[in-house]
Structure 1
Amino acid sequence: MTLDKILRYLQSNSKFALLALVSASSVALLFFRIIVTQNLGFIFMTWNLFLAWVPLFYIKWVWERELTRRTPTFLLWIHLVVWLLFFPNAPYIITDLLHIRATPENMVWYDAVMIFTFAVAGFLTGLYSIRIVHRLLTRRWNEYAAWLIIVISMFLSGFGVFLGRYGRWNSWDIVSNPIALSRGIMKSMIDPFAIKHTFTFSFVLMLLYFAFHIFAELNRNESTHKYS
């Protein structure tokens, strides 16, 4: 592979490289903590981070297939549902900050930085996957339909984060334990705390994506007219 091809490859995958760097940094902080403290207490965060990457890899695969061959509409909707089932795992990591309460006083700041780095990695992978969904929907239909589906998805994701943190449900429970999950969803739908949490988290998630989208569009426009 020539240097020119390497540079083109890195440029085309720069977003993935940046996300991988942030994720690797968070894992490095965790393993340094494990080595120093001889404690595996936060090892679960590597699994949470892996789950945050799943919807991004999945929707990236769907996007690349869509670019080469138009996906049948019914199949595209199935892909979007699968993506949405796993997407809450990305912003969910921010809720792991509650574990700081159990951190020894001499480790509070280190653990806060470590968990925050995991949260940033999770949020960025999530925002990037929403961005891909947004472009896919705009390409398939139009900007208005894309925004409508994005807003609905963010609201459902906020509810999904609540189910994960407080109901302790997982994405795969829809297959492994659908009846109990359905009962949990129905119960949460009339829970005032669940409703407040859903609206609050959905609003924050939508606000962050809107800022991310505007920045990405400005960056695209600058790149397009860079040499004009």
Structure 2
Amino acid sequence: MKPNYLVRYLQNNQKVALLAFVSAAAVALLIFRFMLTGIPDFIFLTWNLFLAWVPLFLIKWVWEQDKSNRLPLWLLTVYLSVWLLFFPNAPYIITDLKHLKAVPENMLWYDAIMIFTFAVAGFLTGLYSIRIVFRILTSRWSHLLAWTSITSAMVLSGFGIFLGRYGRWNSWDVVTQPRALLHGIIHSIQDPFAIKHTLTFSFVLMLLYFAFHIFAELKRHESSHKYW
């Protein structure tokens, strides 16, 4: 690999590299916990983190495809729908903090830090994927449509987190159990607790993305004028 190409590659993927570093740190904490206790608890966190990366990998690929050869509207809509289907997996990890209730007191703080690190990795990965979706929408249409779409996506994601945590539904159940999932959705939208949960998570997601967006815009104008 030529030096100039390597530098250019690292510059174009430094955000992904940073996210990978945070994710690797979370996994390292989990491995150390296993070495310390000999008990394979919290292995599921690695799977949850992998699912958090899926929407980012997908939307980065869609972004590259759309930049090189503008995708038909119907195909872009399909890709964005699949992204939205998997996106709730990114912030979902924060709900794994509930497992701290069963943690022995001598491991409480370590496990809290470990799960929080996984949650941070998931959140940051999700925020970056939203940023890419925002760029795709603004390049195609307008900021108003982009913000409207992002806000709607956050509400749906908040509901998706509720379905995942309390209904135990997965993204792929849309294909494997569509009728049962539809029944679960209908039942949940009539549940006041589900509505409160959805609004709370939606607000937090939107607040975090807004802060992420402002930071990215400030960085863009202060340095290279390159859009994240």
CA distance, structure 2, for counterparts of residue 138 and residue 163 of structure 1: 30
Q: Structure 1 residues 76 and 225 mapped into 2: Cα distance closer, same or farther (>3 Å)?
A: closer
Q: Deviations over 1:45-80 (max 9, x none)?
A: 000000000000000000000000010001111111
Mapped partners of 1:218, 1:136: distance in 2: 19
Sort the Cα spacing of 1:225 and 1:143 in 2 relative to 1 into closer, same or farther, 3 A.
Answer: closer
- The 2-side partners of 1:142 and 1:17 are apart by 29
1:23 aligns with 2:23: yes
The corresponding residue for 1:144 is 144
Specify the alignment match of 2:6 in structure 1.
6
Higher mean C-alpha displacement, 32-41 vs 13-22: 32-41
Question: What's the counterpart of residue 60 of structure 1?
Answer: 60
**Letter in structure 1 aligned against 2:124:** L
Q: What is the root-mean-square deviation of aligned Cα atoms in Å?
A: 1.1
Match of 1:94 in 2: 94
Residue 73 of structure 2 corresponds to 73
Helix, strand or coil for the counterpart of 1:224? coil
Give the Cα–Cα distance (whole angstroms) in 2 for the partners of residues 67 and 131 of structure 1: 15
Q: How far off its partner does 1:109 sit?
A: 0.5
1:32, 1:86 → 2: CA distance? 29
Gaps of 5+ in 2: none
Which residue identity is paired with 1:94? I
Summarize deviations over 1:173-205 as a string: whole Å, max 9, x none: 000001110010000001000000000000000
C-alpha change, 1:138 and 1:34, in structure 2 (3 Å) is same
> SS of the residue aligned with 2:223?
helix
Cα 1:176–1:225 change in 2 (3 A) is: closer
* Displacement of 1:2: 3.3
Q: Offset of 1:3 from its aligned partner?
A: 2.9
Partner residue of 2:118?
118
Instruction: Give how far 1:225 is off.
Output: 6.2
Q: Which runs of 4+ in 1 moved over 6 A?
A: none
The alpha-carbon deviation at position 116 of structure 1 amounts to: 0.3
Matches within 5 A, 1:1-228: 1-224=1-224
Give, as a single letter, the amino acid of the residue that structure 2 aligns with 1:39: I
Query: Under a length normalisation based on structure 2, what TM-score does the superposition of the two structures give?
Result: 0.97
Distance, in Å, in 1 between the alignment partners of 2:42 and 2:124 is: 21
How far apart, CA to CA, are the structure 2 residues paired with 1:26 and 1:101?
Answer: 20
Give the distance between the partners of 1:81 and 1:8, measured in 2 at CA.
31
- Partners of 2:6 and 2:76 in 1: CA distance: 32
Query: Distance in 2 between the 1:41 and 1:7 partners?
Result: 40
How many positions carry a matched residue from both structures? 226
Q: What is the distance in 1 between the residues matched to 2:225 and 2:93? A: 37
User: In 2, Cα distance between the equivalents of 1:7 and 1:120?
Assistant: 27
Paired residue type of 1:71 = L
